[in-house]
Amino acid sequence: MLLLALAARAQSVLPVQPLPADPSRAAPARGPVVARRGTALGLPFFDDFTTPREGNPRVQNWLPGGGALVNNRLPVHPLTRGVATLDGLRANGQGYGNTPNFGAIDSLTSQPIDLSGYGPGNGVFLTFAWQEGSVVGPSERSSGSTPVALELFFLDRDGRWVSQWKQLAGGAAVSGFRQKAVAVADARYFHAGFQFQFQATGNVSVSTDAWSLDYFVLGANRTAADTTYADLATAQGLGNPLRRYTALPWWQYNAAAPASELNPMLNAEITNLNPGPIPTPISWTGTVQDVAGGFQGTWLTDSRSIPTQPRQTVIGGSARTAPLPTTSAAKQLRYTLALNTRVAAGDRTLPNDTLSRDVFLNDYYAFDDGTAEAVLALPATSTGPIQYLAYALDLNQPDQVKGVRLYPVFLNNAQGDNGANRSVTIGVWADDKGQPAATPLMTQTATLRNPLTNPSAAGQPFVDVLFSASVPVSGRVYVGYGQTARGQFLPYGIDLNNPPPANTLWRTNQGTWLAFSALPAGAPMLRPLLTNNQTVITATTPPAAAGAPAVFSLYPNPLPTGGTIAVAGPAFARASLLDALGRTIWEQPAAEAGRPQLTPGRLAAGVYLVRLHLANGSTVTRRLVVSE
């Protein structure tokens, strides 16, 4: 019994894997790039990576091309909003090698800094904060065969890079950022073209070994203890303004009780870098606005004295304080949290006083924020049925599912996908006593083109897979994807900053549904697409019916129990009837195959699905209501 319990527990968790590639990272723009500034920078040098929100480090301070990523999604409890992460993926999202070898990966190199007017007696120090590992997990422990390290170099007047500090990866659980002060004390560094550089070493093929850097200050008249600053900053990203999802269809939001889909605990993290010990009084304001204009609201106004120990404090309020408009249109809402620090305009720390996050009320559900920190793959099997992964959705009103938006991550090298296409099957399931029904309401198999082309996703690395006809659903429903046994399984992106609610993720194991979670917790990046309960047909019409209407309909609908169902539309090969759980309860007799009058006999009052099988192998499903 104990072994069975342990086996069941093991089946309920799927480990995530580091990114072999990151399709969201854009390749550097083509054209002339100024590698070095015409004029060297002066002191003080400062960068807390508040801008850009994501992308390459600013060329005003850093040489381009090192592979560091400015972001706020990979660090754990960053010191301030935005860090530079060196994780083994280039600026174009690809690794440095095709096999899991270890060697030099990302680097971060400053622009030239003029130190010719300073000397060893001027107390010039470089201070910074660093963290080993990321939200994906700890780096691999450094050893002779697997060197994983972060090393700091200074450029001397003879053009030689000289090591100043080296941190070997310990492989332990990710801890908070630590601060380091390094003296610029040797006379050979005081020249007009001084630079400093961080070089990471680690796994060259995946993003296993990550280091994040933050809050650089290089200045004179400092000491090794100079690691506190007159700065109170936002840090960890703003939480999810929605209660259950990160996005949902606008009509489903409108159908809920007022503001019930909003998060009653919308939080953020702030850092007090002041020396203390006296807490720092501060106020803050949370606002929300429609990016297109019109609606504006305030969800939070508060103030408090923030301690310096511990340095980081969670603040927040209820997003329900500012209910969103229920107009009949898609919306992009921007939530903002701003610290009222009263610093002067142009102050270097002003940008880190604000956090923002966008919420989309469009035509899809999402549990992710659109960025993948890792990948998740279904367990490969050599025999058995298709392996499925699905999300549970609780609809506020009846609707129809037209497809699924997926985030596949291809590894295009000789050991990976190598440019080959991959197959995927999407599905919809009704609820059966709190879990997906054994039989899907509908499935659809498609080929994912490699590389992806999907203009409808606004350039994001998503691809839309559509059903031949939209699937009517209501109440609790499950939507997901699957891959066949013996197939070439493809990993999909997973967002590690937005773990879904409990009892939301499901997968099959040899045909049996299991509730599961990812380790570490995260949201697989699949987004059900809905229609506002409008029927959408995407199936190709069979050649024999090319001139026929493209839409099927049933009448009468509702159908009196015991009545005959009439099918209007193109020719079909045969019909079947499914109950609300997706179980087939009647099939058209062979002698009546294709006849547009269906006679399933007396049916209990309720909701059913009529499935029409077309000559080209596709299917169309229509919702049927039976009344007494």
**pLDDT digits 0-9 by tens, 395-427:** 999 999 999 999 999 876 555 555 678 889 999
Average the pLDDT over 325-349 and give the result. 89
Average the pLDDT over 153-162 and give the result. 98
Can you give the pLDDT at residue 447? 87
Which whole-number Å values give the CA distances from 605 to 222, 598, 601, in the listed order? 81, 17, 12
Token pair 């010191």 is found at 79
* Residue 444: alpha-carbon gap to chain centroid: 24
Can you give the pLDDT at residue 369? 96
Q: pLDDT grade, residue 570 (50/70/90)?
A: confident
pLDDT tops 80 at residue 619: no
Q: For residue 502, count other CB atoms closer than 10 A to its CB.
A: 8
Of 317, 282, 280, 279, the residue nearest 297 (C-alpha): 317
Can you give the pLDDT at residue 35? 61
pLDDT tops 60 at residue 8: no
Q: pLDDT grade, residue 518 (50/70/90)?
A: very high
Can you give the pLDDT at residue 5? 37
Can you give the pLDDT at residue 23? 86
Of residues 323 and 615, more confidence is placed in 323
Q: For residue 603, count other CB atoms closer than 10 A to its CB.
A: 20
Q: Is 202 helix (H, G, I), strand (E, B) or coil?
A: strand
Question: Mean pLDDT of all residues in the chain?
Answer: 89
Element containing residue 248 per DSSP (H, E): strand 247-249
Average the pLDDT over 449-472 and give the result. 74
Distance (Å, whole) CA 434 – CA 514? 11
Can you give the pLDDT at residue 344? 67
Of residues 615 and 548, more confidence is placed in 615
Can you give the pLDDT at residue 75? 98
Of 415, 23, 42, the residue nearest 205 (C-alpha): 415
Q: pLDDT for 271-316, tens place per residue?
A: 999 998 999 999 999 999 999 999 999 999 999 999 999 999 999 9
Of 415, 494, 402, 481, the residue nearest 448 (C-alpha): 481
Q: pLDDT grade, residue 17 (50/70/90)?
A: very high
Q: Is 626 helix (H, G, I), strand (E, B) or coil?
A: strand
pTM of the model: 0.84
Of 262, 261, 333, the residue nearest 296 (C-alpha): 333
Can you give the pLDDT at residue 230? 87
Q: pLDDT grade, residue 36 (50/70/90)?
A: low
Q: pLDDT grade, residue 547 (50/70/90)?
A: very low
Amino acid 70 reads V
Average the pLDDT over 333-352 and give the result. 86
Q: Where are the beta strands (DSSP E) in 484-522?
A: 492-495, 505-509, 512-515, 517-519
Q: pLDDT for 97-153, tens place per residue?
A: 877 799 999 999 999 999 999 999 999 999 999 999 999 999 999 999 899 999 999
pLDDT tops 80 at residue 489: no
Would you mind telling me the total number of residues written for the chain in this entry? 628
Q: pLDDT for 358-404, tens place per residue?
A: 999 999 999 999 999 999 999 888 888 889 999 999 999 999 999 99
Q: pLDDT for 205-227, tens place per residue?
A: 999 999 999 999 999 999 999 98
Can you give the pLDDT at residue 412? 62
Q: pLDDT for 236-282, tens place per residue?
A: 999 999 999 999 999 999 999 989 999 999 999 999 999 989 999 99
Can you give the pLDDT at residue 417? 57
Can you give the pLDDT at residue 27? 45
In the chain, what are the domains? Answer: 14-227 (2.60.120.260), 234-362 (2.60.40), 371-530 (2.60.120), 543-627 (2.60.40.1930)
Of residues 28 and 43, more confidence is placed in 43
